[in-house]
Amino acid sequence: MNDELEPDHWQSAGFIAGIDEVGRGPLAGPVVAAAVILDPQRPIEGLRDSKKLTERRREILARQIRENALAWALGRAEVEEIDRINILQASLLAMQRAVAGLGQKPDLALVDGNRCPQLDCRAEAIVRGDSKVAAISAASIIAKVARDHEMIELDAEYPGYGLARHKGYPSKHHLEALQRLGVTQIHRRSYAPVRRLLEA
């Protein structure tokens, strides 16, 4: 993580929470967000965008983040909420819930992307923030690890769809399994491939 990308005015902001979400693209499962306030006295080496890390490295870093951060929390929005209010609003809701779960109220929230949820503190959206800001990278890592674990558990509950492998994303195997096995209650009915099957 390149600290030069973190402006001086952030450094004096007090408690800074990085916020990110994972799971916008999948056809199944919740969207999961994380909020992390890192401890400047306990830096964590190797933080970067979770998508650029191996699964093993994410697991190691997630454990270090949970052990060393000043505060961290997860938030989520369920499939029913995604279908009702759309994935963008559900992602923002999951982020709100993550920040609300923090044991320490942040003075500033740095949010990955170009939209901020409504929060009780100052917030700033940063495009590709998970590659630029350590706290956002940390949030992306623990959100991804948490959601991946959940999808592995759901794979046992809904066998045949390959959820442990593709984590709900619209892979060829997943689309074929949907055709063969049908739509389950964990599938997002507002997403076009699922909706088309239901209409057919």
Of the pLDDT bands very low, low, confident and very high (cuts 50, 70, 90), residue 23 is: very high
Res. 28: pLDDT tops 80? yes
pLDDT at 94 over 50: yes
Average pLDDT of 140-168?
A: 98
pLDDT at 14: 87
What does the pLDDT average to over 109-132? Answer: 95
Fold (CATH) for 3-151: Nucleotidyltransferase; domain 5 (3.30.420)
Residue extents of the structural domains in the chain: 3-151
**Whether residue 98 has pLDDT greater than 60:** yes
pLDDT at 51: 86
Answer whether 67's CB lies under 8 Å from 142's CB. Answer: no
Residue 2 has pLDDT above 70, yes or no: no
22 confidence band (pLDDT: 50, 70, 90): very high
DSSP string over 50-79 = GGGS-HHHHHHHHHHHHHHSSEEEEEEE-H
Checking if the pLDDT of 57 tops 70, the result is yes
Mean pLDDT of 41-69: 94
Q: What is the mean pLDDT of residues 15-36?
A: 97
> Average pLDDT, stretch 45-67?
94
What is d(CA 102, CA 138) in angstroms, rounded to the nearest whole number?
14
In the structure, what pLDDT confidence band is assigned to residue 10 with cuts at 50, 70 and 90? low
Q: Where are the alpha helices (DSSP H) in 69-124?
A: 79-85, 87-100
Per-residue model confidence (pLDDT) at position 200:
83
Q: Are 187 and 178 in contact (CB under 8 A)?
A: yes
DSSP 170: -
Q: Residue 1: what pLDDT?
A: 45
**How far is 54 from 151, CA to CA, in rounded Å?**
17
Q: How confident is the model at residue 7 (pLDDT cuts 50, 70, 90)?
A: low
Give strand ranges (E) for the chain: 16-22, 31-37, 71-77, 108-112, 122-126
